[in-house]
Amino acid sequence: MTAHAAAHGMVGGERAQGAVGVHTQKLGMWVFLVSEVMFFTALIGSYIILRWGTGAEWPEPRTVLAIPVTAVNTFILICSSVSMVKAYAAAVKDDQAGLKRWLLATVVGGATFVSVQAFEYHHLVEKGFLPGSGLFGATFYTMTGFHGFHVTCGVLSMIWVTIRAFRGKYAGGKFQGIETIGLYWHFVDLVWIILFTIVYLI
């Protein structure tokens, strides 16, 4: 470990690559994501306990929720993850036009997802399905709501990153920011796939 630390020349304040060879920003994002995992674990764990741990009556999800719409929405979110990968690949190749194009696609995908979710909420509330509508309502709105909040934050950050990309801030190999936000984006996607499975499908 000594040699390792010493091998990375840490001169002055320039230690972005760090003692373990991972970019500090990326490492920070990973650590942050660990805490996010724990946050969603608390919510999903509570859902599992309330639904399967107590023998409570639980409505069939498809009698309440519009599964096909959300399935399409899930597909859109997954597509936005693909475009995120494309954006990163473009950044690595220093293909600035590609980077901008794929970042925009990601923003559009994420924004669409949030909009469809808002539409879904509106529809459900009109039908009388509220957070107070039993444990299903409570867990549904809490879990999907916090996920939606995360996507919204992601979209806002993604817009910021896109603006920076249009200003050429990621040119010339300085694309760490793209990888960092990409990590967050993929994480939020992954959480959604879990939520879609256990809340909508099962």
Which chain residues interact with other proteins by CB under 8 A? 1-2, 5-6, 10-16, 18-20, 22, 24-25, 27-29, 31-32, 34-36, 38-43, 46, 49-50, 53-54, 56-57, 130-132, 134-135, 137-139, 141-142, 146, 150, 153-154, 156-157, 160-161, 176-177, 180-181, 184
Are residues 185 and 106 in contact, defined by beta-carbon separation less than 8 angstroms? yes
Please identify, using beta-carbon distances, which residue of 14 and 60 lies nearer to other proteins.
Answer: 14
- CA 31 to CA 29: how far, in whole Å? 5
Are residues 193 and 74 in contact, defined by beta-carbon separation less than 8 angstroms? yes
Residue 6: enclosing H or E segment and its boundaries? helix 2-7
Please identify, using beta-carbon distances, which residue of 184 and 200 lies nearer to other proteins.
Answer: 184
**151 phi/psi in degrees, rounded to 5:** -65, -40
Residue 144: enclosing H or E segment and its boundaries? helix 134-166
Nearest approach in angstroms of CB 157 to other proteins is 4
Please identify, using beta-carbon distances, which residue of 41 and 71 lies nearer to other proteins.
Answer: 41
Tell me the CA end-to-end span of the chain in Å, nearest whole number. 47
Nearest approach in angstroms of CB 49 to other proteins is 6
Nearest approach in angstroms of CB 43 to other proteins is 5
- CA 157 to CA 180: how far, in whole Å? 11
| Residue 12 identity (one-letter amino acid) | G
Please identify, using beta-carbon distances, which residue of 18 and 67 lies nearer to other proteins.
Answer: 18
Nearest 5°: the CA angle 54, 57, 58 is 105
Nearest approach in angstroms of CB 107 to other proteins is 14
Please identify, using beta-carbon distances, which residue of 28 and 118 lies nearer to other proteins.
Answer: 28
Nearest approach in angstroms of CB 166 to other proteins is 16
